[in-house]
Amino acid sequence: MNLQLNHTFSSPSSPFYYSQTLLVLAPLKIRCSLRSPEPGSAPEVSVSKLTSEAPIPLRARKFVRSVRRDAEAALFDYLHCTRGFSYLDSELISRNSPRFLRYLVSKIRRDEKDVAGALTRFFRYHPINEFEPFFESLGLGRYDVACLLPDNMMFLTDDTTLLDNYHVLFDYGVPHTKIGKIFKEAGEVFRYGYGVLNMKLRDFENLGLCQSTVIDLVICCPNLLLPGKKDEFIVVLDKLKDIGFESDWIVSCLSSKQTYNWRRVLDTTCFLSEISYSNPQMITLVKANPALLFEGTQAYLLVTQLVKLGLSRNTIYLWFTENPKILTLNHAKRICKAIKFLLEIGMDRENIARTVSTNIQVIGKYPLKYPNFVLKDFKGDRARLSKIIQKDPMNLLRLASNWETKSLWKRTELSNLKLKKAFLLRLGYVKNSDEMKKVFKSVEARGDLLQERFDCLVEAGLDRNDVVQMFRRTPKMLNGTKEEILKKIEILKKYSSFGVESIVRFPTFLTYGNYRIKCRLSMYEWGKERGVLRPTLTLSTILVSTEGRFLKYYVNVHPYGPAMWESLKIRFLSS
């Protein structure tokens, strides 16, 4: 019987799938059962390791930019043309899976000139586990991908439920590279039936949240999409609404790098509401320091200790309203540690309350040493140390903290001012002139760093006099670090045909973000190659234009311009 080896027409559900592909799965480690299979059944097969974790030969082809581009094109062609994925899905996967691309490149000969053609032939006889580049493109790390790979599937189209829920999130507006976090922390979401996930997203909008806020919320807290997990969040939201906060406020304070316990947030909200006596006070307190809601455990412990010292709630609240930083995590920890320090040296509660209350702002700024280290200078005499601190509470900081760092900082600041002034004088500024004073306000770096950044521009190929004139027009151009300046010059050369001399007329270039520079220069080069944009445009014209003007005159001038623009934004956002 002739067996068809083209994996395009095979799937795990086919009774001939394993017999067709066992011989061509060389990159995969396969474990087969030695027991005789029953008639009509296929042998047991399980993939035990990531294909991209296979050892790369020492003489494998270097993964340079041109090779990666060809590998991306080959993988895109395989996904889009051979496997039938949409243009956008194929592009997102191929552009955001560098580890998998590196593995693919390692499977072809080092001297192969046609990388794309070689990979096309490789795909023809070596089926790949499509879940691997897909998961990597979602932003998952190597270990996470290995843990999440299904045991009995290789083709994405075999898991239609996963793809349907992925498209619901992506079409709703969740960035492709952020969906991996949702898959990792709330994988059950991708097993929902038709319409369930979309309904859950709309439920958040019914709470008064706008779509962009819902997107930020599910990225920061994917667990809220799981059954029964959003109840406490709804209570917190209702509590904040009652106090006077808008619905979107709490989400604007969240970070995708942290995890949140909504029961604890609710307890903290109730606690802060109790000590504030009235809602306007609560709003003022929390808006001054939103972290109070999420780092409120330490604040709760601090208030408990202060109350035990005999301080009234009214006094405590006045401290918090005048200096909300007292309740932040680091400040609260340091104040609690200071109270513990005073208790360990035997000071009575009344004197502890007086010492802390008169210097609570300063105590929260400086970490204290352990009592045993300080007592060495007093030969273990706790009573003597206690009396010295009672006599002048500031002695607590002088003896138990690095108090000398403050005076050292002042000396360093004076030295930096002298260096900055010397740098400006070398550039031709008049001493103590209004122009020099104006530059002092706009330039934030130290004097020695300014000289270093100035020199790196000269070393990059610019004339010294040109750099001086650039600085006079745009002093803020040296606010970035040396590495940031060199990175911008590298981007200019890599993504455009402009030379480094083009920034002489436009020094403000060095103040723009790398993301904006990459997107706009790449779009301009793309349009110029297709003859829809003039090749004589200046660097300033491309970067200074507003978003709307840029879309009108540089993107929408070509039928495929909008799609290319969105592709560039996704590509550079993920990098």
Tens digit of each residue's pLDDT (9 = 90 or more) over 157-214: 888 888 899 899 989 888 888 888 888 888 888 888 988 988 988 988 888 888 888 8
Structure tokens at 95: 């552009």
Angle, CA of 295, 296 and 299, to the nearest 5°? 115
Structure tokens at 443: 């330039």
With a cut of 80, say whether residue 93 has pLDDT above it. Answer: yes
Check residue 51 and give its pLDDT.
60
Distance in angstroms (rounded) separating the CA atoms of residues 363 and 166: 50
Which H or E run contains 375?
Answer: helix 371-375
Q: What is the DSSP string of 142-168?
A: HHHHHHHS-SS---GGG-HHHHHHHHH
Residues found in the chain: 575
pLDDT in tens, 268-281: 777 766 665 555 66
pLDDT in tens, 363-386: 887 788 888 888 887 878 888 888
Instruction: State the number of CA atoms in the 13 A half-sphere of 211 facing the CB.
Output: 7
pLDDT in tens, 14-64: 333 333 333 333 343 333 333 334 444 433 333 334 665 555 443 445 567
Is the model's pLDDT at 300 over the cut of 80? Answer: no
Angstrom CA distances, 407 to 148, 374, 397, 403, 563, stand at: 54, 21, 13, 8, 58
CB under 8 Å to 377, separation ≥6 — which residues? 399
- Paired tokens of 65: 């930019």
Local structure of 32: helix, strand or coil = strand
Kindly report the average pLDDT of the chain as a whole number: 78
Select from 52, 61, 58 the least CA-distant residue to 29.
Answer: 52
- Residue 120, both tokens: 């096309």
What is the tens place of the pLDDT at every residue in 504-537?
A: 999 999 988 888 999 999 999 999 998 899 888 8
Q: What is the pTM of this model?
A: 0.50
